[in-house]
Structure 1
Amino acid sequence: MMKSVELIIKGEKVNNVGYRPFLLLNALTHEIEKLYAFNAIAGGQEAVILRAEGEDEHIASYIEFVKSSYPPHAKVGSIEVKDFNGHVGDAYKYAQILQLEQMYKAIPAIISIDNKQDAMLEKQDIMIEKQDATISILKEVREDTSAMLEKQDAMLEKQDAMLEKQDATISILEEVREDTSAMLEKQDATISILEEVREDTSAMLEKQDATISILEEVREDTSAIKADISCLRKDASESLYEKYEQLCQEIAEIKATLSEIKARAA
């Protein structure tokens, strides 16, 4: 026995998620020969109105499927089933209508895609130009980098030469330090010798002072002799023999004194 039903599918998202092709395909697999569906707004919600006609058992099986299965991305809130007394068109004709509708919907999308592709091509052209500019800049950077590397190599060579000269300078300074140490040792020896010479000079000066003191005494004694001779000349009346004896005695004393002076000086 044939039966016609109307299903009102409501939910947060049931339009534009492929719900009607989903219902049509599965209606054909359930041997539903007549079917029509359209999108609507019911009670402030998105809705899909489905009308189907077929054998009782096929309709019952199809209703159970619709209640339990949804297309991907659909958000279903409720499904209302009721009898329908109106005309229901052929399912295959509806498939053609749905195909044309989908093609009609696809045309703006295709145009939009084409426009977006044109925009993408323009952007790609701009990107290519920028890439060319970037490549040019990178080449300049590479050349600058090469020049910098060459300068760095030259700097490294100069630094190596400076290090070699520093090594030579350090070697010379080591030799100078050794020579300076030897000079200091010689200076120490010279100072030691000068200390000894100073000590000997001090001793000589002391001896010279002693000699001068003795000579002062000799001078005093000589002055006394001269005074005595002067007295002899004045005292001509005295006995020459006595004076002679006395003079000899004084001369002997002088000789003794001189001998003593020589001995002390030696």
Structure 2
Amino acid sequence: MKAKITIEGRKVQDVGYRYFLAEAALSFGIERFRAVNVGNNQVVAFVETESDVVNEFYEFVRSNFPVGAEVDAVKLEDYEGYIPKIESFALILNIGQSRKFIEIGQKVEYTIKEESQKTRDELRTVIVEESEKTRETIKEESQKTRDEL
């Protein structure tokens, strides 16, 4: 049996839902599986296995959520399209997530470099100002010492 499970809610993305579903699918022995984010408030899972396993998986998905998820509805319907092997899905998901991590890492690196440069510039300004004050103080103190001698 092929099925489509639609999960809707205020917070169903950016909580690891696809990983959560894939792990559950593996534990149910589901060999054909795919999950995708749709719009801003949906995750859709596609499964292909025996009908009793589909129903058990659906019941699991209806009553179990990843930490941080806010689910409003879970719907089950028949599906006719292609569903890849779960290994292929896992590989594609991991490649996509790795790409995201790389992009985030690059942004963090750029921000750190930018902030470091700002800090160096600010420090340079403070050091120059303090050096000038110190020179003036030394000149004044030197002059006082000369005058006293």
Alignment of 1:105-120 (within 5 A): 105-120=100-115
Of 60, 69, 78 in structure 1, the residue corresponding to residue 64 of structure 2 is 69
Q: Which residue of 2 aligns with 1:23?
A: 21
Q: Which residue of 2 aligns with 1:87?
A: 82
Alignment of 1:97-176 (within 5 A): 97-129=92-124, 132=127, 136=130
Give the counterpart letter for 1:23 in structure 2. L
Quote the Cα distance in structure 2 between the aligned partners of 1:58 and 1:123. 58
Q: Which residue of 2 aligns with 1:37?
A: 35
Secondary structure in structure 2 of the residue aligned to 1:27? helix
Give the counterpart letter for 2:15 in structure 1. V
Q: Which runs of 5+ in 2 are unaligned?
A: 142-149
Alpha-carbon RMSD: 2.5
Q: Which residue of 2 aligns with 1:5?
A: 3
Q: Which runs of 5+ in 1 are unaligned?
A: 148-266
1:132 shift after superposition: 4.2
Distance 1:88 1:109, change over 3 A: same
Of structures 1 and 2, the one scoring higher in RCO (CA 8 A, sep 6+) is 2
Give the counterpart letter for 1:20 in structure 2. R
What is the CA deviation profile of residues 78-134 of structure 1, one whole-angstrom value per residue up to 9, with x for unaligned ones?
Answer: 111112232211001100010111122233212211111111221332354366468
Of all paired residues, the percent bearing the same amino acid is: 27
More helix by share: 1
Quote the Cα distance in structure 1 between the aligned partners of 2:66 and 2:30. 19
Give the counterpart letter for 2:114 in structure 1. A
Quote the Cα distance in structure 2 between the aligned partners of 1:71 and 1:131. 49
Give the counterpart letter for 1:117 in structure 2. I
Secondary structure in structure 1 of the residue aligned to 2:2? strand
Quote the Cα distance in structure 2 between the aligned partners of 1:109 and 1:12. 24
Quote the Cα distance in structure 2 between the aligned partners of 1:133 and 1:64. 69
Quote the Cα distance in structure 2 between the aligned partners of 1:131 and 1:92. 57
Scaled by the length of structure 2, what TM-score is found? 0.76
Scaled by the length of structure 1, what TM-score is found? 0.45
Q: Structure 1 residue runs of 4+, over 4 Å off?
A: 130-134
Secondary structure in structure 2 of the residue aligned to 1:52? strand
Alignment of 1:218-237 (within 5 A): none
Number of aligned positions between the proteins = 135
Quote the Cα distance in structure 2 between the aligned partners of 1:69 and 1:127. 51
Secondary structure in structure 1 of the residue aligned to 2:44? strand
